[in-house]
Amino acid sequence: MTAEPERRRGRRPGGADTRAALLTAARAVFTESGYDGATVRAIARRAGVDPAMVNHWFGGKEALFAEAVLHLPFNPKALIAEILKGDREVLGERIIRTFLTNWDAQDGGVFAAMIRSVSAHEQVANALREFFVHQVFGQIVSAMHDDGSALLRANLVASQMIGLGMVRYVARFDPASTADVETLVAAIGPTIQRYLTGPIG
Amino acid sequence: MTAEPERRRGRRPGGADTRAALLTAARAVFTESGYDGATVRAIARRAGVDPAMVNHWFGGKEALFAEAVLHLPFNPKALIAEILKGDREVLGERIIRTFLTNWDAQDGGVFAAMIRSVSAHEQVANALREFFVHQVFGQIVSAMHDDGSALLRANLVASQMIGLGMVRYVARFDPASTADVETLVAAIGPTIQRYLTGPIG
């Protein structure tokens, strides 16, 4: 792969200051109101910019939350679409591979920062919960189940992904912190696959 | 079950003050030296008491660590012996049931406190890692494998247990935080079982 030579964003009304102001405002509003309670309108008002700037700079509320609060280095909506595109039989492996590759690229610092925020601030925990369960894993699972098990399945997937992040990046267990991605994909992929598509009761 | 009418500890040299002094000293020494580096002798010296008091009050270094640093409300060594006693085919279910029952009894506060310590203090993370991997899950797994997979298996078990604690007690996902213990035993037991005894590569 070669690096993307140029990022095309079209015109940039408001400039980079607008983007920074939106990130700061988003952190405050998400913390005060939780993910579901925070509106794009309230965030834009706090930043003193037009609400259309949220879509312009971030593509939507999910991506703004992901960057402002979770410090995720990727757009979760795009990631989910990408994950759901491939073979459903190895979805579990693909999820592990995608998240580890993304987190590894930042040496796990982003994951560790997220956990510190969650542990220290009840409000961030609320926002994270809504985001992970309803937006990220919830979207993946509800694409596959309508028997009322979708939320529990999303919780189970989140539990294993968060626990993996904890031992790899925060507590830095050995060999979880040094194992190559494919070793963990082989070991944990079937767990995620069963939580998504297998029997859980 | 009826409550235990009286706890017999034999004579109590030094009294409850000795016990409290040992807990305070243990927190300091484990934090400075890590689990493996901390000695019973150093902890006793810091507390200004005889090293025999550690065995007298706690039964050993593991249990002192569990209470002083992890704030676990149970003795891990006794717990492991109990877990290993039963049918190996449902070991995974038994581990989930045992930990959840113990953590639930304190409304998860103990687990949450442990995670806050780990996230905030690198040294506590080191001690926790040594303790969980080498003492708790390591002992369970090494009783069953001598093919070099024991440490990775112990890491995998720890990842799922820690992640389960995170969604149930810290981030309080729904329904993971409200589900009854047996629902989670049924859903996650097979994961732990495979990490302990199944194929992971």
Q: Which of A85-89, A125-129, A176-180 is the most confident on average?
A: A176-180
Residues of B in contact with A178 (CB under 8 A): none
Residues of A in contact with B179 (CB under 8 A): 152
Residues of A in contact with B186 (CB under 8 A): 200-201
**Best residue of B115, B128, B167 to probe chain A, by most A CBs closer than 10 Å:** B167
pLDDT tens-digit readout, A83-118: 888 898 999 999 999 889 988 988 888 788 777 777
Whole-number average pLDDT of chain B: 84
Range(s) of the domain holding residue B101? 76-197
CATH at residue A27: 1.10.10.60
Work out the pLDDT band at A123, boundaries 50, 70, 90: low
The predicted model gives A135-151 an average pLDDT of 82
pLDDT tens-digit readout, A6-48: 444 444 456 789 999 999 999 889 878 878 889 999 999 999 9
C-alpha Rg value of chain A to the nearest Å: 18
Q: Cα(A81)–Cα(A87) distance, rounded to whole angstroms?
A: 13
Residues of B in contact with A152 (CB under 8 A): 175-176, 179, 183, 187
The predicted model gives B79-88 an average pLDDT of 83
Query: Is the same domain home to A97 and A184?
Result: yes
Work out the pLDDT band at B5, boundaries 50, 70, 90: very low
Query: Is the same domain home to A26 and A99?
Result: no
pLDDT of A2 over the 60 cut: no
**Best residue of B159, B182, B193 to probe chain A, by most A CBs closer than 10 Å:** B159
For A9, counting Cβ atoms within 10 Å of its Cβ (0-12 exposed, 13-18 middle, 19+ buried), the class is exposed
Q: Do A166 and B159 touch (CB under 8 A)?
A: yes
CATH at residue A108: 1.10.357.10
* B39 compared with B16, residue with greater pLDDT: B39
Cis peptide before A175 (omega within 30 of 0): yes
Query: Is the same domain home to A63 and A115?
Result: no
Angle between helical axes of B15-37 and B122-129 (0-180°, round to 10)? 80
Q: How far is A92 from chain B (nearest CA, A)?
A: 13
pLDDT tens-digit readout, B108-154: 887 887 777 776 666 667 777 777 777 777 778 887 887 889 889 99
Q: How far is B53 from chain A (nearest CA, A)?
A: 31
Query: Is the same domain home to A105 and A188?
Result: yes
Query: Is the same domain home to B43 and B86?
Result: no
Q: Which two tokens stand for residue B49?
A: 């008491």
User: Could you tell me if A152 lies within 8 Å of chain B, comparing CB atoms?
Assistant: yes
